[in-house]
Structure 1
Amino acid sequence: MSICKERITGAGAWVGADVREEDWLVELGPAERGELLDAVRGIPVGRALPDVTAADFPLPVLGPRLKELTRDLEFGRGFAVLRGIPLDLSPAETRLLYWGIVAHMGTAVSQNGRGELISHVTDYGKGDLSANAVRIYETSEVVPFHTDSSDITGLLCLCDAESGGASILASSMTIHNELLEHHRELLGIYYAGFVYDRRAEEETGEAPYYRNPVYGFFDGQLSCRYYVRHYIESAQDKTGIALSEVERLALDRFEEIAGQERNQVTMYLRPGDLQFVNNNITVHARTGYRDAPGRHRDLLRIWFNTQYARTMPDGFAKFRFGMPRVGPGA
């Protein structure tokens, strides 16, 4: 695999001082909210989400804005927030509304072994990550910097936490630039990648771990996939191979650069906010949070790829096109 040896420039290689709230925040107006509700009402009750297309969900006012937003996600800074999504709907209608928006932006893919296209990011009460089958989005713990598998991650906030739960973003292009300048000797490790734990979501007969590069340079474009470090750590027990000292150093340096406040944008998602993050050029994290009694932080997550998706080899971003269904009914 070729290693990018030049600084990345352009909107995707940002630092916090480069980005203002008005650059990434898109507030919906009454007409746009109204046509979302009209589109939901126009879909027959009980219709399966995968059968609903953009043509079935007409958005004459919002649709062009979504198309432009999608281009900005792919070719700009790599993140945005739609504010003002209507939430005074039934759970099924909310999922349909969410699906309809994304249908105008790209194609959703499965994000776990249950085959879910939309899942809840909330505290499932399963315990912490010491449990082999628990994934980090199912806890209230701190979520360190990472990417997801698809090109774009969407998070629709249904309910915020009593305290905590801040969303923190950093440019993986800026991280690469700093690694190139100050830690050039480590670059090969990121391009070789790390072994990740499947967290009990492997298919029958499949290895319970996989290797994935952090950076790849294809057709003149740098792309990133940095999955959760907890899964790298827990994979050691399954492979029987410990991380080397230099591999740990590489992980530490990546997270130190992402963790520098000057490289970050921090936001608190409020109910009705829909955040989009491009995993090719942005890493995201979350502070731990605490729920109020009877009121639980809850976000709906969707993974999708857009019509502008970049070309990369199959082996670079495992599960880019969805995670296989495992277990009963697979």
Structure 2
Amino acid sequence: MSAEVLEAREQSGRIVPPKEPVVEPGDWKGPALAESEEWKYRLTDADRSELASALAHVRAEKLPFGGIRSVRDFPLNNLAKKLAELRHDVHDGRGFVLVKGMPVDGYSREDIATMYWGMGLYLGYPIPQNGKGHMLGHVVDLGYKAQKAEYDADGKVRPFTHTEIRGYNTRERFFFHTDSGDIVALLCLHPAKSGGQSMIVSSVALHNEIQKRRPDLLEELYQPLWTSRQKEVPANARPYYQKPVFNLFQGRFMCTYLRMFYESCKVFPELPLVTAKQREAFDLMDQLANDPAFNLSMDLEKGDIQYLNNHVALHTRTEYEDFDEAERKRHLLRLWLVAPDGRALPHWYYDATGGGRRGGVYVPGMTEVVSLEP
């Protein structure tokens, strides 16, 4: 890994970005990768045999699902070596990989989830994804709509500006964003009837393009922004906190972007409203992220696992049409993973969890839950 050591600096109470572009392996553009296979790994028959053996080990040890806490509980051999390479690609390389051919057909939901969870432990360890303590997420339409949606000046819906609905439980398109934790992993159990493409974009590339076009707006994205916790409030914490979109810390770049979380802070009268300049910066961020010159779109097929580094990439999903039969509906399993040996994080990230944790959602009285159903 080779990244140019750059630092932002504070001047007159504001954080001033570096004048030079960020140099990171995670700086890429979609069209250059669209025809490439370098970011894909296809599991071999030998790999699948190792997964079956590790699953048999779990059963022999009578470990409950969710009770697999280390790679020792899910022993792999040659596949472990390959996962170490993929882990490097995700943490210190381009920032994402697509693993194809995870065995799905012929296995129970519990067996599939166990193998998925076990593989994830070779990249990080799972953390809770919401205030209900869900450690295994289900990306599936539960019939929700973007109620209370607001509209942009051109009449387009700005989705999910409210706190009750989560985009992953609808079939609507949602905005480019990052999740909490180092890595978000998605396993496709069933694809949609049509649509539902996964879209990712390099936040390093967005940073450098904004720097080139509008350095004044880049500076806005380096300032700490008030961010709503969306009613998932840690003990002894306020329902909001501050975090910049872009950070440079100990020579490493990182980005966190949750536009709806910034704009929904307007419900707190004690906080300042999002300024016109900040909104202009968000608009440019969104415009670039949605530009095919920057993003990469992919169809997640049955058995595909996408591992994505939240610090250097944003992700979203397009609107989709589902099958009528319940057993054929689009369904992805999600893990949020953290790696204590990952890039050093500034205090903003620990402030977000309210307890010095590297990522995840923690609220009073929460119990970690691993459920095979949404």
Q: Same fold (TM over 0.5)?
A: yes
Mapped partners of 2:224, 2:247: distance in 1: 10
Shift, 1:11, TM fit: 2.6
Aligned residue number for residue 194 of structure 1 = 225
Mapped partners of 1:292, 1:300: distance in 2: 18
Is the 8 Å Cα contact of residues 133 and 367 (structure 2) preserved in structure 1?
Answer: no
Q: Does 1:237 align with 2:252?
A: no
Mapped partners of 1:310, 1:196: distance in 2: 23
Aligned residue number for residue 99 of structure 2 = 82
Mark the CA change 1:211 to 1:111 in structure 2 (over 3 Å): closer, same or farther: same
Is the 8 Å Cα contact of residues 4 and 222 (structure 1) preserved in structure 2?
Answer: no
Q: How does 1:1-330 map to 2 (within 5 A)?
A: 2=9, 3-19=17-33, 20-44=35-59, 45-87=62-104, 88-128=106-146, 130=148, 132-203=163-234, 206-227=237-258, 229-239=259-269, 241-294=272-325, 295-306=328-339, 308-316=341-349, 318-319=352-353, 320-326=358-364
Is the 8 Å Cα contact of residues 134 and 199 (structure 1) preserved in structure 2?
Answer: no
**Structure 1 residues 119-154: Cα deviation after superposition (integer angstroms, max 9, x where no partner):** 101112243253632222222111211111111110
Q: Give SS of 1:269's match.
A: coil
Shift, 1:48, TM fit: 4.6
Mapped partners of 1:224, 1:187: distance in 2: 12
Indicate the larger mover: 266-275 or 104-113.
Answer: 104-113
Shift, 1:198, TM fit: 2.3
Structure 2 unaligned spans of 5+: 1-7, 10-16, 149-161, 369-374
Is the 8 Å Cα contact of residues 349 and 359 (structure 2) preserved in structure 1?
Answer: no
Shift, 1:308, TM fit: 4.1
Shift, 1:200, TM fit: 2.3
Aligned residue number for residue 152 of structure 2 = none
Indicate the larger mover: 287-296 or 203-212.
Answer: 203-212
Shift, 1:219, TM fit: 1.1
Is the 8 Å Cα contact of residues 168 and 266 (structure 1) preserved in structure 2?
Answer: yes
Mark the CA change 1:195 to 1:10 in structure 2 (over 3 Å): closer, same or farther: closer
Mapped partners of 2:226, 2:24: distance in 1: 31
Q: Give SS of 1:181's match.
A: helix
Matched letter for residue 18 of structure 1: A
Mapped partners of 2:299, 2:92: distance in 1: 24
Aligned residue number for residue 155 of structure 2 = none
Number of equivalenced pairs = 329
Mapped partners of 1:321, 1:102: distance in 2: 16
Aligned residue number for residue 151 of structure 2 = none
Mark the CA change 1:279 to 1:309 in structure 2 (over 3 Å): closer, same or farther: same
Mapped partners of 2:343, 2:313: distance in 1: 15
- Identity of matched residues, %: 33
Q: Give SS of 1:22's match.
A: coil
Mark the CA change 1:213 to 1:40 in structure 2 (over 3 Å): closer, same or farther: same
Aligned residue number for residue 5 of structure 2 = none
Mapped partners of 1:195, 1:139: distance in 2: 26
Mapped partners of 1:309, 1:121: distance in 2: 26
Matched letter for residue 305 of structure 1: V
Structure 1 unaligned spans of 5+: none
Mark the CA change 1:325 to 1:81 in structure 2 (over 3 Å): closer, same or farther: same
Q: Give SS of 1:49's match.
A: coil
Mapped partners of 1:33, 1:65: distance in 2: 13
Mapped partners of 1:327, 1:107: distance in 2: 22
Shift, 1:267, TM fit: 0.2
Give the TM-score, by structure 1 length. Answer: 0.93
Is the 8 Å Cα contact of residues 129 and 136 (structure 1) preserved in structure 2?
Answer: no
Shift, 1:37, TM fit: 1.4
Mark the CA change 1:129 to 1:101 in structure 2 (over 3 Å): closer, same or farther: farther
Mapped partners of 1:147, 1:324: distance in 2: 18
Mark the CA change 1:63 to 1:262 in structure 2 (over 3 Å): closer, same or farther: same
